[in-house]
Structure 1
Amino acid sequence: MSTPIAVLQTTTGIEPAANAAALRRAVQEAGAGGAAMLFTPEMSGLLDRDRARAAPHIVAESNDPTLAAVRAAAAEAKIWVALGSLAIRRPDGRYANRSFVIDEVGAIAARYDKIHMFDVDLASGESWRESAAYVPGNEIAVVADTPVGRLGLSVCYDLRFPALFEALGQARCDVIAVPASFTVPTGRAHWHVLQRARAIEATAYVVAAAQSGEHADGRRTFGHSLVVDPWGDVALDMGEGAALAFAAIDLARIGEVRAQVPSLANKRPIGV
């Protein structure tokens, strides 16, 4: 039996109120379209590389208006939401890149703080230092039982670290969310192959809702939000541009693949 999901691809900007309104509309549209769960990208509430300009909008979780808006919309539409991530101010004044799972009554079912910080200098000239403002999380294999099965959480750059996905596979996740705002150079080179590899390794669906296009802060993101099945087949590729799309999670397919390639069951510890 298949469970319908919706995937949101956005070009999130620097105005949180406009971004929150777009998220509310997406929740409503996903619910009206029959989806049991909506997946949104990394930094769905605000995408602004100017940290001084962004700072006034980054608040504690309890005060975040975008989180409150999505929770209210989820309860109204009676739909679960995997809110890719928001920038959240921690009690120590630094930030967390935090993913949320919100249930059909608007309650928070799970939280995950992105573990791996994107600190890179690309050949294109782009330079990113996520760790200058954000504190990495330290909790792995964060899962929630949802209408699409056991959902495991990750965020963007986490994709490059197989050990996290091995842990999610060993936790018997049915679906792994990989919300992202991938750069164009790294997206062209690695996005599809990494998403497919992680689905194959965990023998689970991967749902990767992504940012796409030219953003108000000057960055460009790759898009191509994906749904990949446990065999590594791409069930949905949204290409470029902001959009909402629908796909399905077939839990029976997970069992079929794990029976054919029982890599999780066959794994043995490897000494150093």
Structure 2
Amino acid sequence: MMSYLAAALQMTSTPDLEKNLVQAEELIELAVRQGAELIGLPENFAFLGREEEKLAQAETIALKAEKFLKTMAQRFQVTILGGGFPVPVENNPNKAYNTALLVDPSGIEVSRYEKVHLFDVNVPDGNTYRESSTVMAGNALPPIYSSDKLGKIGLSICYDVRFPELYRHLSLKGAEILFIPAAFTAFTGKDHWKALLQARAIENTCYVIAPAQTGNHYERRYSHGHATIVDPWGVILADAGEKPGIAIAEISPIRLEQVRRQMPSLQHRVFA
């Protein structure tokens, strides 16, 4: 593994699938022009609208999103994470999996994860979220994708960030980079987003790459933004702010080794 640039993309996705994919392509191209070799798209990059509308279009969204990811990876010769899109559940028309897909430069799927922690929360700003009303929770821990070029990458999605045991599993399986693509609500994000990302990086001595949604998507649905890349010491290397754009930073194996040598906390664990 050599040093390389990674990019966390920040979007304002809407219920318009085609416009979302155009926005995503523009940001991917921008990241590639800046030298990124590993690129992450946020949760709900292909569609962010009402749950019932998402479910009604889930098959179309899934097909177009997957084709898009493979086409972009191949065209630009980069590895791309699609941070979350609905994939219909077989024999259950009322549910879809919230699925993250990692695709290599040849356009081949190398890792897939179905979100296990679903966002069923009454947020103090008055919004109520019931992800489980249309999403089937995954039943498997996230996989690790090992690349000689990019390192060992673990996947997760948004609300997972509040469950440190998931990331401990990934780090103990050898993860060096943790993907946390999100559509974090504006209300919770202002207090929790940065702190949670830094905590997951510090406690696992891993890089964190967190693509994000930002702004107003439809009606009263607002996301926090601040797509972020954090180093293993917890230092924020890049923050995309509040507008659509990219956060880009170097992933350095030398830095990773240095931090793990200076703070060997993973070796000092007492409890499994």
Identify the TM-score tier after normalising by the shorter chain: over 0.9
What is the CA–CA distance in structure 2 between the aligned matches of 1:9 and 1:141, rounded to whole Å?
23
Tell me what 2:217 maps to: 215
What is the CA–CA distance in structure 2 between the aligned matches of 1:15 and 1:157, rounded to whole Å?
24
- Distance 1:60-1:214 versus aligned 2 partners, 3 A rule: closer
Q: Which moved further from structure 2: 25-34 or 223-232?
A: 25-34
Residue 20 (str. 1) matches residue 28 (str. 2)? no
Give the letter aligned to residue 201 of structure 1. E
2:208 to 206, 209, 214: 206
How many residues align? The count is: 268
1:217 positional shift: 4.5
Residues 47 and 217 in structure 1, CA contact (< 8 A), matched pair in contact too: no
What is the CA–CA distance in structure 2 between the aligned matches of 1:127 and 1:4, rounded to whole Å?
37
Q: Which moved further from structure 2: 202-211 or 252-261?
A: 252-261
Question: What CA deviation, in whole Å up to 9, does each residue of 1:186-227 have, x standing for no partner?
Answer: 101111111100001110000111100111343100001111
Residue 109 (str. 1) matches residue 110 (str. 2)? yes
Please give the residue correspondences for 1:54-133 in structure 2 after superposition, counting only pairs within 5 Å.
54-59=54-59, 64-91=63-90, 92-93=92-93, 94-133=95-134
Residues 155 and 178 in structure 1, CA contact (< 8 A), matched pair in contact too: yes
1:140 positional shift: 1.1
TM-score with structure 2 setting the length: 0.94
Please give the residue correspondences for 1:1-272 in structure 2 after superposition, counting only pairs within 5 Å.
1-48=2-49, 50-59=50-59, 64-91=63-90, 92-93=92-93, 94-146=95-147, 147-269=149-271
Residues 10 and 210 in structure 1, CA contact (< 8 A), matched pair in contact too: yes
SS in 2 for 1:211: strand
Residues 196 and 228 in structure 1, CA contact (< 8 A), matched pair in contact too: yes
SS in 2 for 1:138: coil
SS in 2 for 1:64: helix
Identity across matched positions, percent: 32
What is the CA–CA distance in structure 1 between the aligned matches of 2:256 and 2:246, rounded to whole Å?
25
Q: 1 or 2, which has the higher strand percentage?
A: 2
SS in 2 for 1:59: helix
What is the CA–CA distance in structure 1 between the aligned matches of 2:192 and 2:139, rounded to whole Å?
25
1:60 positional shift: 7.2
SS in 2 for 1:13: coil
What is the CA–CA distance in structure 1 between the aligned matches of 2:55 and 2:197, rounded to whole Å?
32
What is the CA–CA distance in structure 1 between the aligned matches of 2:15 and 2:220, rounded to whole Å?
10
What is the CA–CA distance in structure 1 between the aligned matches of 2:86 and 2:219, rounded to whole Å?
16
Question: What CA deviation, in whole Å up to 9, does each residue of 1:60-110 have, x standing for no partner?
Answer: 78x611220221121011111011111111213321110010000111100
Residues 7 and 38 in structure 1, CA contact (< 8 A), matched pair in contact too: yes
Residues 165 and 201 in structure 1, CA contact (< 8 A), matched pair in contact too: no
Q: Which runs of 4+ in 1 moved over 4 A?
A: none
Residues 169 and 201 in structure 1, CA contact (< 8 A), matched pair in contact too: no
Residues 52 and 134 in structure 2, CA contact (< 8 A), matched pair in contact too: no
1:152 positional shift: 0.4
What is the CA–CA distance in structure 2 between the aligned matches of 1:90 and 1:255, rounded to whole Å?
41
What is the CA–CA distance in structure 2 between the aligned matches of 1:134 and 1:223, rounded to whole Å?
23
For the aligned residue pairs, the C-alpha RMSD in angstroms reads: 1.5
Q: Structure 2 unaligned runs (5+)?
A: none
Residues 23 and 70 in structure 1, CA contact (< 8 A), matched pair in contact too: no
SS in 1 for 2:59: coil
Q: Structure 1 unaligned runs (5+)?
A: none
SS in 1 for 2:237: strand
SS in 2 for 1:191: helix
